[in-house]
Structures are given as C-alpha cells and as structure tokens.
Structure 1
C-alpha cells in the first residue's frame, strides 16, 4: 500500500469512527437568530481547529444572555440542551483548558470581542468520547466566543 492509499484509509477510518460517536439526538445552539457574528470571531475561526482525535473547526458563538456569565445549568438551558438539569457541564479557566498556550490566538480574540479578561471554558459532554468546548465571555447582554467539538478516546 502506498502512502496516498494509506492516508485515504486512515482518513476514512477516522471519518467512520467520528460519525459513529456523533450524537444525532440534539444539536446545541451557538447562534441566536438575527444576531451578527462579530468580525473578530469570524476571522479567528477561519482556519482554527481544536486538536483531538478528530480535528474540528472552531465556530463562533453569539447568544443573548441575562444575568451575566451563566452557571452550569443556566448554560445548558442557554444552548438548548434537551435535559439541562442532567447535562454534564464542567467550567474551567483558560489556563487549565490550554496549559501550553496552543489556542492563545483564539483566547485573545474572545477577550478582544468581549473587552473582558473573564473568559470561561465550558465543557459539555455529548457522549463518552465526545464533548464540546465553549470558550466564551459576556459583553453587554451577549455571550460571545467560540466552540469546538472534541473527540477524546
């Protein structure tokens, strides 16, 4: 088997594995209707990927929020989790989520768009091996930032 065939084989295997882990039961909301995505977030997410077992792109998050940065249950409600009270959500700071500075550009973009250094990372578990990381902050009455799917076996 030559290198090209081997790479095609690996890519196909990863695609099948990723699809089998995906949950089709629900999709979490990351953008409220009639809200514009800030240019800073559009640019930051153009070529940015979260590196895991399946490298997935970062996508912008723009949601209306009341009462500032949400707790775990409020966050699950905000993103339309089907069972917010039972959702597995973990909150962490950016240093714990990115201890090696690999996502500094993404973090800086979220800080810039929120004009706030208080950025949180929410990890919401979708299955045993799949979760979404939401890097967000609050500006005015909006939760702004990015999210990415992570597959971690």
Structure 2
C-alpha cells in the first residue's frame, strides 16, 4: 500500500508592523490611566447608600451641624424678662408711662392765670381764635379790681403776678385787619364800654394778648385773652 506523506506546514509568527501613530496613542492612553489611578488612590471609597432606603434608616453616622449664633442683647436673656408674660408686662408699663407723661405735659398750659373771680356769661360763650403761627382760642379774664378805671401795664403785671414785660398795644394795631370785632364787642358789653389791649411777654416767641375792660359795679377787670406764637 502506497503511503502519501503530507509535507509539514511550517508557520512563522510574523507580526504586522504597527504604524507609529497608533503606538503613540496607546502609550499616551496608558500614561493617563495610570496617573488617574495614582491621583485618586488616596481618597477613601464611599459606600453608596440611598438615604431613603428602608434598610438604612438606622444609620447613626454623625451629621454636620451649624454653630448656634448667640445674641448678647437678647431680651429673654435678662432674668426680668424670662417669659413672654414678663415681656408683655414690660411693654404695657412703658406705654402707660409714656401716656402719663404726655397727659401731664398737655395739662400744663403755657400762660398766666387770668381768672380769680366769677366770669361774666357773655365772655364764657365767645368762640374766637387769635391768628398767629399757632391759632389759639380766646379765654375769659376776670380779675378782682377795686379801681374805677382801666389798669395800666404795671397794674396788670401786678394783678397777674408776672415777672416779664407787660406793655400796652393800641387797639388799631391789635385788630388791624378787623378780625376780632366779636372779641372787642363782647369785652365792651361785659365792662363799661372802654377797652384796652395789653401784650404780656412769656418768652422770645410767645406772648399773651389781653383785651380788657372794667366792671366797677362788680369790682373786677373783665375781658378775653389769647396766646400768640410769634416766630
């Protein structure tokens, strides 16, 4: 029997040459990968846990908290204001003190005392105002007087026990615009028909104007007065 020998196939491991561009790209990629690994190797790995997963609700890891800011001027830091009730009581007392002070100031009227005897009815019903920087109402004047003549400036100063200047003002100057005819008529009827006007100084910017007459039968000086603010 004839044997046919098959020739042996000899293979050689021949590599196809790689282009230089591919070699350079591969080397650069390997270098970048190693650098990344080295850069992040010191950072500890964190386990991924869902905050809302039911199995991790018992996590007791410490949480970062913000520092509390202290207020050195807190109202509740005082022992007298340790509660809301104490604080409200403090506010109410402050409001009461302010109201009392305002009431006291309003009750302290600026001016002289112009009444020490009965006021004629005709003068009490007059509702007129003296026009100045602050419009003030006319008020009755009724002072005890034993003379049968109009007082002088010094006499009125003595009746009022006033220390500042008291001067006489002409009626024509007092009512130069015919604004106070009602005042003048009321004073004439309450007295003997003769009227005199005085300026009583209170301060550099304030004065009182007295419009007076004499009622000899009742023994008094009667009239009206008003505060003037003269800036």
TM category, shorter: 0.7 to 0.9
Tell whether the 8 Å contact from 1:136 to 1:145 is kept in structure 2 after alignment: yes
Of 119, 138, 142, 1:62 maps to 142
What secondary structure sits across from 1:76 in the alignment?
helix
**1:133-152 superposed matches below 5 A:** 133-140=209-216, 141-152=219-230
Q: Hey, which bits of structure 1, 4+ residues long, moved more than 6 A?
A: none
* 91, 97, 101: which one aligns with 2:168: 91
* Structure that is richer in strand per residue: 1
SS in 2 for 1:102: coil
Cα distance in structure 1, aligned partners of 2:199 and 2:154:
12
Cα deviation code 1:61-113 (max 9, x no counterpart): 000113332222221110121x3xxx311112321210111000010000111
Partner residue of 2:125? 43
Asked whether the equivalents of residues 60 and 147 of structure 1 are also in contact (C-alpha less than 8 Å), the reply is: yes
- What does residue 190 of structure 2 align with? 113
**Tell me, which stretches of 5 or more residues in structure 1 are unaligned?**
1-18
Q: Does residue 72 of structure 1 match 2:144?
A: no
Please report the TM-score for the alignment, with normalisation by the length of structure 2: 0.49
CA RMSD of aligned residues (A): 1.7
- The structure, 1 or 2, with the larger RCO (C-alpha pairs under 8 Å, 6+ apart) is 1
Name the count of aligned residue pairs: 121
CA contact (8 A) 1:90 1:123 kept: yes
What is the TM-score of this pair, normalised by structure 1?
0.73
List gaps (5 residues or longer) in structure 2: 1-104
